[in-house]
Amino acid sequence: MTELVLVVAVFGLLGIVLVVINKLVGPKRSNPVKNMPFECGSPYLQEGINPVPIKFYIVAFLFLLFDVEVVFFFPWALVFKEIGRTGLIVMLAYIFVLVLGFVYAWKKGAFDWES
């Protein structure tokens, strides 16, 4: 518990110190060009840029979700002999939940790619 308090105190103090140093040392002048919004190198609100379809974000999110879940298989495979039946049952339950999530995403049409 004391380590947690120490870590929070050190990094909280570090954050405050960095903000104060930025205010003291950072640039003081501003100009209108610096205050304009920046949109990935294209002129501000340029016409003709179509928004990215939501399917791209759904596929990326599902990839991250299932990729992170699959990462848990590696440590489980390393200690498979030591964990015994209880570990096997827990991992089978984990795989069952993973498959349920996959089936749910499939039924909702998350993998149907239509332009």
The two structure tokens encoding residue 61 = 């999110």
Please check whether residue 64 lies inside any domain of the structure: yes
- Which domain, by its residues, includes 81? 2-107
Number of Cβ within 10 Å of residue 76's Cβ equals 15
What's the angle, vertex CA 62, arms to CA 59 and CA 68, rounded to 5?
A: 140
Return d(Cα 20, Cα 12) in angstroms, integer.
Answer: 13
Q: Specify the pLDDT at position 49.
A: 63
Backbone torsion region of residue 26, taken as left when φ is above 0, otherwise alpha when ψ lies between -120 and 50, otherwise beta: beta
What global pTM score does this model have? 0.49
CATH number reported for the structural domain that contains residue 81 in this entry: 1.20.58
Return d(Cα 75, Cα 69) in angstroms, integer.
Answer: 12
The two structure tokens encoding residue 89 = 């049952």
Please check whether residue 114 lies inside any domain of the structure: no
What is the count of structural domains for the chain? Answer: 1
Please check whether residue 112 lies inside any domain of the structure: no
Return d(Cα 102, Cα 96) in angstroms, integer.
Answer: 10
Calculate the CA 74 to chain-centre distance: 20
Give the DSSP H/E element, type plus range, for residue 35.
Answer: helix 32-35
Please check whether residue 44 lies inside any domain of the structure: yes
Per-residue confidence in pLDDT tens, the chain, 115 aa: 889 999 999 999 999 999 999 999 987 887 887 777 666 665 555 566 677 777 788 888 888 888 888 888 888 888 888 888 888 898 899 889 888 988 998 898 887 877 5
Return d(Cα 13, Cα 29) in angstroms, integer.
Answer: 27
Please check whether residue 6 lies inside any domain of the structure: yes
